């Protein structure tokens, strides 16, 4: 292992971040795949209530993803504060930028999804334990507006994640130590 690879190996993220990263990735893939299924179900009526479970699941996993991302970004910022000052390589700056964009888009997806849901007139039950306080009245225009923004932010997130995963696979193939930061406990 070269000196550069050894120093990258030293910068490994904490086990908490490793576990949250896996949960975040699985949850986000689930949100994308399940949302297309949930929206293809018949619209709710007295007879058809099929949408209730997948919508509640989608909203709860989305809210939980928000919490994972808050913990991960807080950990990353405190790691950055503790790291030795010094010139950062172009690759390190690019990686930080990629992570920042991913975090911003995750927060944007969660906030727009939450706003769309708040104006839909449907309650959100937090993991079937209690109802999230509702602070708005049903408003179709705002529901549609935030639903559109939700879709666009989600598509942007998918695009950035594709670049992120391609870069991770590229570095794994190069065996330059970057992948070890995340995938060797």
Give residues in contact with ligand HEM (CB under 6 A).
13, 17, 21, 24-25, 28-29, 31-32, 35, 39, 58-59, 62-63, 65, 72, 76, 95, 99, 102-103, 106, 109-110, 113-114, 116-117, 124, 147, 150-151, 154, 157, 161, 164-165, 168-169, 178-179, 181-182
Nearer to ligand HEM, 2 or 182 (CB): 182
Nearer to ligand HEM, 13 or 85 (CB): 13
Extract the tokens encoding 27.
Answer: 């949850």
* CB neighbourhood size of 116 (10 A): 20
Dihedral sign from CA coordinates of 31, 149, 163, 8: negative
User: HSE on the CB side for 4, CA within 13 Å?
Assistant: 7
- Only one residue has tokens 């058809």, namely 48
Rounded least distance, CB 75 to ligand HEM, Å:
7
Rounded least distance, CB 151 to ligand HEM, Å:
4
Rounded least distance, CB 122 to ligand HEM, Å:
8
Nearest to 155 by CA among 36, 63, 51, 55: 36
Is the Cβ–Cβ distance between 98 and 149 less than 8 Å? Answer: no
Rounded least distance, CB 185 to ligand HEM, Å:
13
């Amino acid at each position: 292992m070269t000196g550069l690879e050894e120093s990258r190996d030293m910068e490994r993220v904490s086990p908490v971040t490793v576990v949250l990263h896996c949960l975040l990735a699985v949850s986000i893939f689930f949100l994308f795949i399940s949302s297309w299924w949930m929206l293809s179900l018949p619209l709710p009526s007295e007879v058809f209530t099929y949408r209730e479970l997948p919508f509640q699941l989608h909203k709860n996993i989305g809210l939980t993803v928000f919490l994972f991302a808050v913990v991960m970004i807080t950990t990353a910022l405190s790691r950055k504060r503790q790291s030795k000052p010094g010139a950062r390589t172009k690759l390190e700056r690019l990686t930080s930028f990629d992570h920042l964009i991913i975090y911003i888009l995750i927060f944007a997806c969660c906030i727009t999804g939450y706003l769309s849901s708040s104006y839909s007139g449907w309650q959100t039950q937090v993991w079937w334990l209690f109802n999230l306080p509702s602070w708005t009245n049903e408003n179709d225009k705002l529901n549609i507006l935030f639903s559109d923004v939700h879709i666009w932010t989600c598509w942007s997130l998918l695009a950035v994640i594709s670049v992120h995963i391609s870069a991770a696979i590229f570095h794994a193939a190069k065996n330059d130590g970057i992948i070890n930061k995340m995938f060797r406990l």
